[in-house]
């Protein structure tokens, strides 16, 4: 005959196991969605950074693209960029450079802080000065790259760049690495990615 106590016992075990199984499925389902939403946020940030870099580096001459990159910057960062472009030393260094074109970038989006590191490669035409004997200028296409640290700030619900810094992202050698005025900070990406 059927022992009703055993049937009741197995029903309770089955019901408890079902509840535990449902709770586990809910837990893993939610954690899976959290990871995918974080991935999409970093993809959006990378796309936004790439759009800014294209606007920032694609220009006929220095200063001709101000309207293109202004929407990506805070007012303070935009004023700093204008001041940099108007600096007499900078004007002299870039006076014979034109037709800048963005080529590519390696982008590292910060997970804990609103910071992006980007190593950008771009082309430009280097124009030689006219000589009296020559009627035409000589133009040489040059490829260059350097690294930027972009610090973001939220303004009216948008992530805008608050500071642009040129940094050196090259690995640090055994004896250390000298910095110069164009690359004031040395950042080792291997150390940056380690958890503290």
Q: How confident is the model at residue 194 (pLDDT cuts 50, 70, 90)?
A: very low
Output the average pLDDT for the chain: 79
pLDDT (tens digit, 9 = 90+) per residue, 29-59?
Answer: 776 655 554 444 444 468 899 999 999 999 9
pLDDT (tens digit, 9 = 90+) per residue, 51-92?
Answer: 999 999 999 988 899 999 999 999 999 999 999 989 988 888
What pLDDT score does 104 carry? 94
DSSP string of 14-83?
A: HHHHHHHHHHHHHHHHHHHHHHHHHHHHHHHHHHHHHHHHHHHH-BSSTTTTHHHHGGGB-HHHHHHHHH
Q: How confident is the model at residue 7 (pLDDT cuts 50, 70, 90)?
A: confident
Nearest partner of 117 among 167, 72, 159, 82, judged by Cα: 167
Percent of the chain scored above 90 by pLDDT? Answer: 31
Token pair recorded at residue 35:
């990871």
DSSP string of 91-158?
A: HHHHTTEEEEEEEEEEEEE-SSSSEEEEEEEEEEEEEPPPPTT-SS--EEEEEEEEEEEEEEEEETTE
- 124 beta partners: 142
Q: How confident is the model at residue 119 (pLDDT cuts 50, 70, 90)?
A: very high
Backbone angles phi, psi at 33, to 5 degrees: -70, -35
Nearest partner of 123 among 105, 99, 139, 107, judged by Cα: 99
What pLDDT score does 32 carry? 62
Q: Are 126 and 144 in contact (CB under 8 A)?
A: no
Name the domain count of the chain.
Answer: 1
Residue 67: domain span: 4-192
Query: For position 73, which CATH number holds?
Result: 3.10.450.100
How large is the average pLDDT for residues 165-179?
A: 65
Instruction: Choose the weakest-confidence range: 4-8, 79-83, 96-100, 183-187.
Output: 183-187
């Amino acid at each position: 005959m059927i022992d009703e106590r055993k049937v009741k016992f197995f029903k309770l075990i089955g019901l408890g196991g079902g509840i535990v199984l449902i709770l586990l499925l809910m837990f893993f389902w939610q954690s899976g969605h959290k990871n995918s939403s974080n991935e999409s946020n970093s993809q959006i940030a990378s796309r936004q950074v790439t759009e800014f870099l294209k606007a920032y580096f694609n220009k006929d001459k220095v200063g001709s693209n101000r309207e293109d990159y202004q929407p990506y910057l805070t007012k303070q960062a935009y004023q700093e960029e204008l001041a940099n472009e108007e600096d007499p030393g900078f004007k002299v260094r870039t006076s014979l450079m034109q037709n800048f074109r963005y080529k590519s970038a390696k982008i590292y989006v910060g997970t804990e802080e609103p910071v992006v590191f980007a190593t950008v490669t771009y082309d430009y035409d280097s124009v030689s000065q006219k000589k009296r004997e020559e009627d035409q200028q000589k133009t040489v296409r040059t490829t260059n790259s350097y690294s930027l640290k972009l610090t973001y700030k939220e303004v009216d619900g948008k992530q805008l760049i608050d500071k642009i810094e040129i940094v050196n992202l090259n690995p640090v050698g055994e004896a250390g690495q000298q910095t110069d005025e164009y690359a004031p900070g040395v950042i080792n990406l291997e150390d940056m990615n380690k958890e503290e």
